[in-house]
Structure 1
Amino acid sequence: MNQFKQSRRKFPSLLLAGAVALVATAACESATRTNDYRINHKIAVSKETVTLTVKAPVGEGGLVGLELANFDKFVRRFIDGGHGQLRIESASGSKAEEAAALQMRQKLLESGVRANDIDLASGGAGNDAIVLSYDAYVAKAPDCENWTKSATYNWSNQTHSNYGCSIQRNLGQMVSDPRDLESAKPMAGADGERNAGTAGNYRKAAKGGGKQESAKGGTGK
């Protein structure tokens, strides 16, 4: 009988201890997680240098086969997501390397790279080779494997531990230029030809052209 009474006395204490533990757990979770899935499942963006080594001298016919395919892929990636200039580096400055560097510069221009985006420099790989390189940004999407939290009831009333992760993962894998996730590109300059045309149409309308257009565009009565 005494043991039963002692157990009854301990039962409320156990309930209180359990409640305190749950509250403490919820408080710890609140301190580390937010209701913003963009923070809980952040896309990591890092900078890397993309390189392509080309043996010198390049044949009279230019790059062929696998070298040409790698070059075309390299240029497309630079145009789509490269930052800064595309560097053409040669180590020894030999005639073969200089000739190959000039060939690569011409090939880049023919492939759509602007002249002011190309930088001829020294300090490449050497061994009768030149190195093409540029800087790019890479996105590391979250893995979305955190299913530790219950999907039903929780004391903190927060979103599920995996909530919004798939959105972030898809965005990280689809974004064309990961740097856009850090800061937006500056606005491009206005189209001068378009502005001149708009101003010309405005002047015509001010001289009566607008009234003529209005009459033509009526109900037809």
Structure 2
Amino acid sequence: MRFVSIALVTAVGLSVTACGSNTANRTIESVRQPVVTRSHLVLDVNIGNTGAMPVAEQRRLAGWFEALELGYGDRVSIDDPNYGANADAKAAVEALAAQYGLLINDLAPVTEGNVSPGTVRVVVSRSHASVPGCPDWSHRSHTDFQGRTSGNYGCGINSTMSAMIADPEDLVRGVSDDGDNQARASKAIRAYRNKNVGGQ
């Protein structure tokens, strides 16, 4: 298993770096913006010449998924050097990923190294959001006569949002409005109203 990491910046932000910079930030836009880091975890699974995944390899893959604590926000893809010829192996990966409520992505990201013949590479892409430089207490006693915001401005809300968001990549791409947002939001309300409380 190898580990590859890339960074995606969620916003360009302002051209200032901190409270003590020469550029005045007099807006309500925070200098400290969330940064999303994506990691690719890979596992090469042996399938031999049959194109089907042996039971032992299925168990190894299932154990790997369990060790990673696969869940919402993770993306699973298959890097197949035979360009989809190993349909049985792909079906086995899809069945294991479905146990975690995940679908297989059509395109696999580029990872380090080549996929050996007789194997398929299963890639789990995972994202993490954080706000670099927060908190910043370096200018606590700094007196600013230019009306600039402090280096800590926005750290609280942006750090909290980064920690709470279910899928960090939503900070990069956003979520498309597919028309069922209201129905999804009302599910919790309906469940609360329809629950049986105290034997009623």
Quickly name the TM-score band, shorter chain normalised: 0.5 to 0.7
State the structure with bigger RCO (CA 8 A, min sep 6), 1 or 2: 2
Relative to 1, partners in 2 of residues 1:60 and 1:161: Cα closer, same or farther, differing over 3 Å? closer
Relative to 1, partners in 2 of residues 1:89 and 1:75: Cα closer, same or farther, differing over 3 Å? farther
> 2:138 aligned with 1:161, yes or no?
no
**Structure of larger gyration radius:** 1
Report the aligned-residue RMSD: 4.0
Unaligned segments of structure 2, at least 5 residues:
1-19, 48-52, 184-200
- The structural deviation recorded for 1:175 is 1.9
Per-residue Cα deviation, 1:165-195 (whole angstroms, up to 9, x for no partner): 233223223322223324531223449x9xx
> 2:23 aligned with 1:31, yes or no?
yes
- The structural deviation recorded for 1:102 is 3.2
Query: 1:45 aligns to what?
Result: 36
- The CA distance in 2 between the partners of 1:88 and 1:107, in whole Å, is 13
- The CA distance in 1 between the partners of 2:157 and 2:97, in whole Å, is 37
Instruction: Note if contact 2:80-2:120 (Cα within 8 Å) is conserved in structure 1.
Output: yes
> 2:170 aligned with 1:180, yes or no?
yes
Relative to 1, partners in 2 of residues 1:108 and 1:146: Cα closer, same or farther, differing over 3 Å? closer
- The structural deviation recorded for 1:42 is 1.2
Greater helix proportion: 1
Match of 1:59 among 54, 61, 69: 54
- Give the TM-score, by structure 1 length: 0.50
Q: Give % identity.
A: 16
Unaligned segments of structure 1, at least 5 residues:
1-27, 194-221
Query: 1:103 aligns to what?
Result: 92
> 2:101 aligned with 1:112, yes or no?
yes
Relative to 1, partners in 2 of residues 1:105 and 1:30: Cα closer, same or farther, differing over 3 Å? same
Query: 1:81 aligns to what?
Result: 73
- Give the TM-score, by structure 2 length: 0.54
> 2:63 aligned with 1:69, yes or no?
yes
- The CA distance in 1 between the partners of 2:160 and 2:67, in whole Å, is 24
- The CA distance in 1 between the partners of 2:94 and 2:173, in whole Å, is 30
